[in-house]
Structures are given as structure tokens and as C-alpha cells.
Amino acid sequence: MSLIENLTPEQEALIPVYRERWRAIALSTERIDREKAAKAVKAGYIAIRKQEPEIIFCDSPYAGLRIIIQKQLKPRLNTELFNQLLYEFANEVREQLAYQLQSQVTSQILTVVPPDLNILEDILRVELKIQLQQETNLRSPWFKAQLYSSACSWLDFYISVLNCSYNQIKWQALQLLVNYCSWILPYEKICIVCDRPLHLRFDNENRLHAEGESAIEFTDGYSLYSYHGVNLPEKYGKVHPQQWQANWFLTEHNAELRRVLIQGIGYARICQELQAIELDNWQEYTLLKINADVDEEPIYLLKMTCPSTGFIHALRVPPNMNSAREAICWVNWGVDSEEFGVQT
């Protein structure tokens, strides 16, 4: 069997068609059809030679993880589904194409699903730990149909456009799972099927983003707040950036969230509302003093402007700092700024 090494212009023109087809499936916010979802799960189990499971539907990934913990379910089958329906199957199909051609196609299709959706699982684990007062130890328990749509897009292209040979049972099962399910939690005798979100909101760079409302919202109220791809706690996310308060910046310990607050509120408004005055400058660094009566001791900030992105960062420093350069040295554990190999 000879390898397929090149695309015709007509074939190459079809790449965005397949990318957008599977992107629409991945980002759908329609309620799942439970009958079709159940058939898809059963087809997936049959494809990996497992007995049909009891199917439990839930409204959000958070609700699904709670069910796992309550029922103490183990072991899970997501690895087997991934290996047999995606990894092994995809390798069988890709063996028919030259590596250079694979790279050409996948590089144009891998943008199917915004990467920010990957963070949802980490957030779920943290929230479960806080709310249930226990470690979940649930490392990647999901078979995420949304994320596997990227693989389906190029597999569909290889099979439908390039006429690669394939395992019909596995391909049908994978398509059904991605088309008719959202996230599933597959176990030996039980499979939990999560409904799709009610809303998915993005900025113009395909990063999760919403202002004053959730970026991801499910029917049971579980929501995720995000500002240009940065996960926000509810106390910030539910408030429009125009109503964010400058003094929040002073009590926020997370550096990334401080940067977002500066970006949302605006550096000028923060300085105005907190009565900040510039004491000293050195290169892209500025030493500021806050005159507003917001703490027992004077507040000194080191403002840093990233040369590559233009983002403004600010960090509180001790009130005995006399210059921006001294504050930089303190931030960097006593290393003088002249010794930096690369400024960050």
C-alpha cells in the first residue's frame, strides 16, 4: 500500500470545511437528546467489547463528579475508550499517510476547540475539594467529546476525502459519542452522561471570556467565570469590569488575577482612586506610593510593564523602599537588576 503524500488543491480547500463542521459540534449548546446519547454510549461500550452500562444523566460536570464520589465508582474505562476508539484507531488510519501530509492537515485543524476548555477539569477538582472537604484524586476521569472533536475533524477528512481504510465499528462509535454526548464518565457498569452547557462565551481570540456573567454555564447553575482566558472567582466574574473596585487589587494575592484587575479596571483609574503617586522610575519599572487610607502601614507598589505584551503588573513591596531599582532587587530575592540575564 503506497502512502498518500500530497493533497490536490480541491482536497486542501476542504480542510476548513471539516474543521468548522466539527467545531460546531464541539461548541454546541443544544440540550443532548438522551435517547441518542444512550445509543452512542452503548455503541462505544460494544466497540471496546464491554457490557452495556446503566446510564445516568446529569446537568453539569460538577454534578457528575459528585455522583462518582458518592457511589465510590472504580475502575473507570475512559483510558480504554481513548486507546481503542481514538489512539489505536487513529494510528491505523494515519499509517496510510506520509508524516508531512499529516502535519499539514492537523496543523490547520487543531484549532477546532479553544484550549481554555481544558482548564475546566482542574477547576472542578479544586471546587470539589473545597465544597466536599476531601481530596478527589480524580485524574482526568472524563471522556471529553468536545475535545476529541479535533481528532474527529482530521479523521473525518482522512476517511471521507482521502479515502483511507478504517474500522467501521470504531469510527461509528467515536462519531456517535462526539455527536450526541458532551462529557461522559465511563465505568464498568455505570456511565454518567453530562448535558451540554447552556452558554459558552468567547472573546475575538477564542478565549473563554464574559463580562459580568459566566463564560460557561450549565442548567443546574454550575458556572465558570473567565476574563480573556483567565479563570475568575465568582466575586469578580459576576461583576462587570466597569464596576470592579480598585481596592480589590490591594487584597488579591494571585499575580495573574492582579494583572486582570489592572487590565479590567485600568491602571489610570487604579492610580486615581487609590491616590497613587510615582516616587521613582527605572527602565520599565515604577515605584508607587498609595496615599489612600486603606491599610495600617503605607502601601508601596512596584509597577512593571512587560516589554513583549505591554501588560502591566504590580506587586506590593515593603514601605522602606527608596527607589524602583531597590524594589526590583527585593522582588528578586536580593539579586540586583544589573545581574539579570533576562528581564521578566
Give the distance from CA 7 to its chain's centroid: 32
Residues 184 and 91 in one domain: yes
Q: How confident is the model at residue 68, as a pLDDT?
A: 83
Residues 233 and 324 in one domain: no
State pLDDT tens for residues 97-129.
998 898 888 777 765 666 666 666 666 666 656
Q: Which of 140, 165, 196 is the last residue of a domain?
A: 196
| 84 within a domain of the structure (yes/no) | yes
Cβ atoms 273, 246 nearer than 8 A: yes
Residues 305 and 287 in one domain: yes
Q: How confident is the model at residue 108, as a pLDDT?
A: 77
Each residue of 184-209: b (16+ CB within 10 Å) or e? bbbbeebbbbbbbbbebebbeeebbb
Q: How confident is the model at residue 106, as a pLDDT?
A: 79
> What is the residue range of 285's domain?
244-339
Please tell me the distance from the alpha carbon of residue 44 to that of residue 176, in angstroms, as a whole number: 8
| 231 within a domain of the structure (yes/no) | yes
Domain tally for the chain? 3
Q: How confident is the model at residue 42, as a pLDDT?
A: 96
| 3 within a domain of the structure (yes/no) | no
| 2 within a domain of the structure (yes/no) | no
Residues 30 and 141 in one domain: yes
Q: How confident is the model at residue 344, as a pLDDT?
A: 45
Please tell me the distance from the alpha carbon of residue 262 to that of residue 120, in angstroms, as a whole number: 24
Q: What residues contact 268, with CB distance under 8 A and at least 6 apart?
A: none
State pLDDT tens for residues 268-325.
888 888 888 999 999 889 999 987 766 667 788 898 888 888 888 888 889 889 899 9
Q: How confident is the model at residue 343, as a pLDDT?
A: 47
Q: How confident is the model at residue 341, as a pLDDT?
A: 45
Q: How confident is the model at residue 342, as a pLDDT?
A: 43
Which regions of the chain are under pLDDT 70?
A: 1, 110-141, 293-296, 335-344
Q: How confident is the model at residue 73, as a pLDDT?
A: 79
Residue 327: how many other CB atoms lie within 10 Å = 28
Mean pLDDT score across all residues of the chain: 85
Q: How confident is the model at residue 32, as a pLDDT?
A: 96
What does pTM read for this prediction?
Answer: 0.78
